[in-house]
Amino acid sequence: MAQHWRAGAAGLAVLGLTLTACSGAKVGDSTSAGAKSSGGKCGTFNLAVNPWVGYEADAAVVAYVAQHDLGCTVQKKDLKEEIAWQGFGTGEVDAVLENWGHDDLKKKYITGQKTAVEAGSTGNKGVIGWFVPPWLAKAHPDITDWKNLDKYADNFKTSESGGKGQLLDGDPSYVTNDAALVKNLKLNFKVVYAGSETALIQAYRTAEKNKQWVIGYFYEPQWFMSEVPLVKVNLPSYTTGCDADAAKVACDYPVYDLDKIVSAQFAKSGSPAYNLVKNFHWTNDDQNTVAKYIAVDKMSDDAAAKKWVDANRDKVDAWLK
């Protein structure tokens, strides 16, 4: 009998739900649809999002503008660089917004397979180098000169560095000459691969908090700099061509002019989104602002982009010309 009772109760519950439902709003008859319909000229815009917050900031703003000012349907695709470039040929990816001097990929996809073309600078200046936490630079100001590094090598020793000082490197997709640099500058250091950006940032965060000795690879623009402003160590200064032979590098990294790459197909399509990507241009401060909204203030990509776009309408209008 208990079973009977249960069936009856279920029936009543359903009846109740049906009755209360009559007053609800129906799907599709409200104005909740987000994107306003465009003239259909833009269509779908496939934007690769590479895994670092600075890039996420670029993508957030471009996607927001493409969606709200041009009426594009933006498909964001979370991909590592190598995979994203692969997508140019197959039509899965239209644009990569922040390329860090990947000459190997340019050679393969732009001059080789001819599936990609350059779309100009983002305006961001990429700085790569060796950084120490601020407390350390303050306590030992001479540490910012590479010639003094050996003096402190013992302090940088860890369980991983085999008796030498440890130079911490991060994600394998970074552009890095560190192993060659250590060798050619004859430093008593060993490169230890943390293996991910997360590991690197956490190492600096702990080091600053507990006043530990850490030196490692890092880069700007980067949201983490607004939390812990790392200090750059000066290596022998960069001159054109000093990094031509990867095995013999003994100079600092060049300042990268970060640029945009789009698929060849997309460049010819006449999509207004292509013009937006081509014209997109801003500064490191702009990017750091949006990156901070996302990483530190934990805003959604869209909300962060809206906040910045509303405050910088003039810049956005220039991209849309």
Partner 1 sequence: MAVAADATAPVATLRRKVSRPMVVAGILIAWLVLFALLRGRQTLTLAAADLTGLHRWLNDLNDSIGANRNSNPIFLYFFNEIRLVIDNLVTFVQSLISQPTGTRPVPQIGWLGVVGITGYVSWAVGNWRVALLAVAGFTFFGLQGLWQESMDTLALTLSAVIVALLIGIPLGVWAGLSDRFNRIMTPFLDFMQTMPTFVYLAPLTLIFLIGGASAVITTVIYAAPPAIRITAHAIRSVPETTVEAADSLGTTRTQQLLKVLLPMSKRTVVMGVNQTIMAALAMVTIAALIDAPGLGKTVVQALQSLDVGTAFNAGLAIVVMAIVLDRVTTAAAARTEAARRTGDGLLKWRRPLLAAGGIAVAVLVYLSHTYVWAAEFPGSGSTGSHIASAADTTTTWLQDHLSGLTNALRDAITNGLLNPFQTLLTDSPWWLVGVTLVALGAVLGGRWAAVTAAVCVGLLVGTGVWSDGMTTLASTAVATVLVMLFGVVFGVWMGRSALVDRLIRPTLDAAQVMPPFVYLVPFLALFGATRFTAIVAAVVYAAPVAIKIIADGVRNVPETTVEAATSAGCNTWQIITKVQLPMARSALTLATNQGLIYVLSMVVVGGLVGAGALGYDVVAGFSQGQLYGKGLAAGLAIVLLGVMFDRITQAAARRTRA
Is 19 a binder of partner 1 (CB under 8 A)? no
Query: By the 8 A CB rule, do 122 and 96 touch?
Result: no
The residue from 58, 94, 98, 171 that contacts partner 1 (CB under 8 A) is 171
- How far apart are alpha carbons 256 and 106 in whole angstroms? 15
* Interacting positions 126-155 with partner 1 (CB under 8 A): none
Smallest distance, Å, CB 313 to partner 1? 27
Of 121, 76, 124, 119, the C-alpha closest to 274 is 119
The residue from 38, 69, 73, 77 that contacts partner 1 (CB under 8 A) is 77
Smallest distance, Å, CB 303 to partner 1? 14
* Interacting positions 201-240 with partner 1 (CB under 8 A): 201-203, 205-206, 210, 223
| Count of residues near partner 1 by CB under 8 A | 72
The 107-126 contact track toward partner 1, x by CB under 8 A, reads: -x---xx-------------
Structure tokens at 26: 């129906």
- How far apart are alpha carbons 23 and 223 in whole angstroms? 47
The residue from 5, 19, 34, 321 that contacts partner 1 (CB under 8 A) is 34
Is 101 a binder of partner 1 (CB under 8 A)? no
Binding window for partner 1 (CB under 8 A); candidates: 100-108, 124-132, 148-156, 276-284: 100-108
Is 3 a binder of partner 1 (CB under 8 A)? yes
Is 200 a binder of partner 1 (CB under 8 A)? yes
Give the position of tokens 């917004």: 97
User: Rg of the Cα trace of the chain?
Assistant: 25
Helix (H, G, I), strand (E, B) or coil at 139: helix
Structure tokens at 199: 């590991």
Is 193 a binder of partner 1 (CB under 8 A)? yes
- How far apart are alpha carbons 113 and 109 in whole angstroms? 5
Residue 4 gets the label, from left (phi > 0), alpha (psi -120 to 50) or beta, of alpha
Is 271 a binder of partner 1 (CB under 8 A)? no
Which is nearer to partner 1, 203 or 267 (by Cβ)? 203
Smallest distance, Å, CB 162 to partner 1? 8
- How far apart are alpha carbons 307 and 294 in whole angstroms? 11
Which is nearer to partner 1, 124 or 166 (by Cβ)? 166
The residue from 41, 43, 44, 104 that contacts partner 1 (CB under 8 A) is 104
Structure tokens at 302: 């869209």
Q: What is the full DSSP assignment across 39-55?
A: -SSS-EEEEEE-SSHHH
The residue from 42, 45, 52, 277 that contacts partner 1 (CB under 8 A) is 52
Binding window for partner 1 (CB under 8 A); candidates: 58-66, 193-201, 259-267, 274-282: 193-201
Binding window for partner 1 (CB under 8 A); candidates: 46-54, 234-242, 275-283, 304-312: 46-54
Is 198 a binder of partner 1 (CB under 8 A)? yes
* Interacting positions 280-319 with partner 1 (CB under 8 A): 294-296, 298
Is 62 a binder of partner 1 (CB under 8 A)? no
| CA count, 13 A, side-chain hemisphere, 123 | 15
Smallest distance, Å, CB 319 to partner 1? 26
Q: Which residues contact 282 (CB under 8 A, 6 or more apart)?
A: 61, 122, 123, 124, 315
Phi, psi of 76 (to 5 degrees): -90, 135
Helix (H, G, I), strand (E, B) or coil at 167: strand
